Chain A
Amino acid sequence: MKRSKSVIAKIDPLLTQLLPRTDKTIREIVTDWRARDLSAGFTPDSLMGEAVEVQCLMADMSDTAEQRLFEDNRINVLVSADDAEALAKEIDEWNDAEARPLSHSTLKVSVAPNNVTRLAVLENVRYIEASVKLELHCDLAHVSSNLYQSATRTVPQTGNGVLVGIVDSGIDTDHPAFIVNGATRILYYHDQITKQTYLADDINKGTVTPHDDRGHGTHVAGIAAGNGDIGTPYAGVAPAADLAVVKTTLESADVAAAIQDIFRFADERGQPCVVNLSLGAHRGAHDGSNVMERTIDDLSGSGRIVVTSAGNAGTSRIHASTVLTVGKSNRWVADFELTLQLINEQTFGDLEVLIWNQHEDKIDVSLRSPNGDLFTAPQQNDQEFTKTVFKVVASHRIAAYSGDHQTSFRIITLAKPELLTGWSVIVQGVDVQVGAVHAWIVDTKMGAFTSGNTQSHLVGMPGTAYSAITVASYATRRNWLSADPQNLKVAYNTITLEDISYFSSPGPTRDGDTKPEIAAPGQYLIAPLSSHAPLSAVPTRMRMKNCQYAASQGTSMAAPYVTGAIALLLEKAPAIDWAEAKRRLIKSCRQDSFTSFGWNPKWGYGKINIRRLLEVEPK
């Protein structure tokens, strides 16, 4: 039967998946589907055809509904009609359908899938909606973190009286997740680009329209402190906290200034405050001694806590290290390759590698090019070497704070294939007392080590700041119903729930500090979607169906989860400092077969357990 467009428009897209496309009955399709080996997860083959369409719908059905579909070839639908009573009488004349009016304009109808179109053809019918399984009124992450049990919060704290600071890409001030009774919960908003500052009154009057044209900050703020809104289960961890937001330039100095601004605002209001930083970089010493990181230490204190993301370099090859043998002259080589970059229609190679060694050691560091040229940094300052097709800038510094040695090489090459591979860092021990040598390529976009690389020491700055609480990510969600008709049911079944996210950066720091300290849900979290976020930043498949929320992943998402938890803790104990907050996080965290016991580089001390966090007794 050929279906008209207007008839199809009356049918929920979830149901159109069930409209018969073959001669098979639903029972045959389901039997065929169940006969497949799905234990290995989705395969391209299993994702094709009617089987997956049935599977998608069934994933959103209750067990009872699934059984009814399988045994009776019937599904329940909700029908919007001009006259529910009249429509019910008409349907009751069919032999294979039942109708029950729920109001003057809605009915529950039990019908065979191949009769859905017949139903839609009726003039009385306005719209047919699938009856889907409702989720508990909380997100999956909240169950894993023990913030919710049986759809109820396990703790009385909501963040009331606490200021949550977000230093990020801005925030969508119009999103219902940040508005209560018509008033904004954003008490302070500063834009470092326009240098404008707005207070809650400005936002409530609508005279200013600060927004988030990237979507990152809105999502992050919603995880920490979104209040959810009617009809969605996606409330943040601290839904009653006040918010202070700085839209940052992303420069480390400006981020430090933003933290000071937010803490000053908290001082003026006499509120405890936690600031979230879901950002970072791989420049610097990786031991917490960067000036930016020490500024965080200076600003933190009683009722002033900073939470940072560990980073997403978990699978990257940007770190290489060795320990030279003490007392001997020995040599270590780490090879690397460049990745071509395209900026302003210009293609080229541009890579910077930093090599750090302890102040106790005397070590010679040099760079070898693909054609065998050797470059050595001067004792102090910079030296440039310009060849026909590439240039090297070599430098050596003694870090003022630690006394450790930093050698760096920046390579700029023409886009020639022979110049991209075959580069090496060569380290020669001269007088070795400690022997630890670390090298980082400062950005994954620049290139990667091809030998000598190790999957450790990948927490960047400011994640290595001594006082900051640094957060790893683990998985709590792998599917959702999206707004994309081509990917209605997004299902990433290769993700192992409750396991560490593959991208989460492992520690420790270069000086052995136990970073990250804690892991939190960060893959995938559903949180507020900025109305200004472009599709390039948030594709349709990541956007939720029927609400202004989106799925996203990253340690960016895990950090605000802990930020929200610290807001709850500060509501209970407003004067605690970062050291006491860390002690309580560590004492209360959850360890299981994924995390192992004690600290480990990927997980820190374990998974956040919010209920227990709030039960830990003061020291």
Chain B
Amino acid sequence: MTELEELLQRLHSTPRKVKIFAVTRAARPDVSHLQELGMDVERVIGNKVIGVIDSDLIADLESDDQIAEVERSVMLSPHNRSDSNDFA
């Protein structure tokens, strides 16, 4: 195994399950349809559905007729700032 392959293997130990937003074309999402597509639905906010899905199934979800849009949940960072710039 090359050095790069080793690095990629270590970095790719990310979980297969990812949290997403799925936006449905219909104003009221068909939750059971989303479940059939492999999504564990956590909550519904209007036509936006939050849930967890296997990363391999995202492409199928994106191409589904009922789904307008899929967005991966991303990590946000707190907006405090250290004093390192001021503290000599």
A residues bordering B, Cβ < 8 Å? 44, 168-169, 214, 216, 219, 250-257, 260, 278-281, 283-284, 290-292, 294-295, 298-299, 309-312, 344, 346, 348, 350, 381, 386-391, 400-401, 412, 414, 461-462, 492, 494-495, 502-503, 524, 541-542, 552-557, 559
Main secondary structure of the interface of B (DSSP, over half): mixed
With A and B bound together, what is the CA distance between A389 and B7 in angstroms?
A: 10
Query: Shortest Cβ distance from A284 into chain B, in angstroms?
Result: 8
Q: Does B45 contact A (CB under 8 A)?
A: yes
With A and B bound together, what is the CA distance between A70 and B26 in angstroms?
A: 78
Q: Does B30 contact A (CB under 8 A)?
A: no
A400 touches B69 (CB 8 A): yes
A251 touches B73 (CB 8 A): yes
With A and B bound together, what is the CA distance between A310 and B81 in angstroms?
A: 13
Query: Shortest Cβ distance from B65 into chain A, in angstroms?
Result: 13
With A and B bound together, what is the CA distance between A559 and B81 in angstroms?
A: 13
With A and B bound together, what is the CA distance between A284 and B10 in angstroms?
A: 26
Choose among A292, A299, A554 the residue that contacts B80 (Cβ–Cβ < 8 A): A554
B48 touches A294 (CB 8 A): yes
Q: Does B64 contact A (CB under 8 A)?
A: no
B8 touches A414 (CB 8 A): no
With A and B bound together, what is the CA distance between A554 and B82 in angstroms?
A: 8
B74: chain A residues within 8 A (beta carbon): 251-252, 281, 283-284
Residue of B with least CB distance to A248: B76
A344 touches B10 (CB 8 A): yes
Query: Shortest Cβ distance from B81 into chain A, in angstroms?
Result: 4
B39: chain A residues within 8 A (beta carbon): none
- In the assembled complex, 20 residue pairs joining A and B whose CB atoms fall closer than 8 Å, in A order, are A214-B78, A251-B74, A252-B21, A252-B73, A257-B43, A279-B77, A280-B77, A281-B74, A281-B77, A295-B21, A295-B48, A298-B46, A344-B10, A350-B11, A414-B4, A503-B81, A503-B85, A542-B83, A556-B78, A556-B79
With A and B bound together, what is the CA distance between A207 and B34 in angstroms?
A: 39
Residues of B within 8 A of A (CB-CB), count: 35
B88: chain A residues within 8 A (beta carbon): 44
B residues bordering A, Cβ < 8 Å? 2-4, 7-8, 10-11, 19-21, 23, 42-43, 45-46, 48, 50, 59, 68-69, 71, 73-81, 83, 85-88
With A and B bound together, what is the CA distance between A326 and B30 in angstroms?
A: 44
Main secondary structure of the interface of A (DSSP, over half): mixed
B71 touches A290 (CB 8 A): yes
B21: chain A residues within 8 A (beta carbon): 252-253, 256, 291-292, 295
With A and B bound together, what is the CA distance between A309 and B76 in angstroms?
A: 12
A553 touches B79 (CB 8 A): no
Which of B8, B83, B88 has the largest count of A CB atoms less than 10 A from its CB? B83
Choose among A284, A390, A503 the residue that contacts B4 (Cβ–Cβ < 8 A): A390
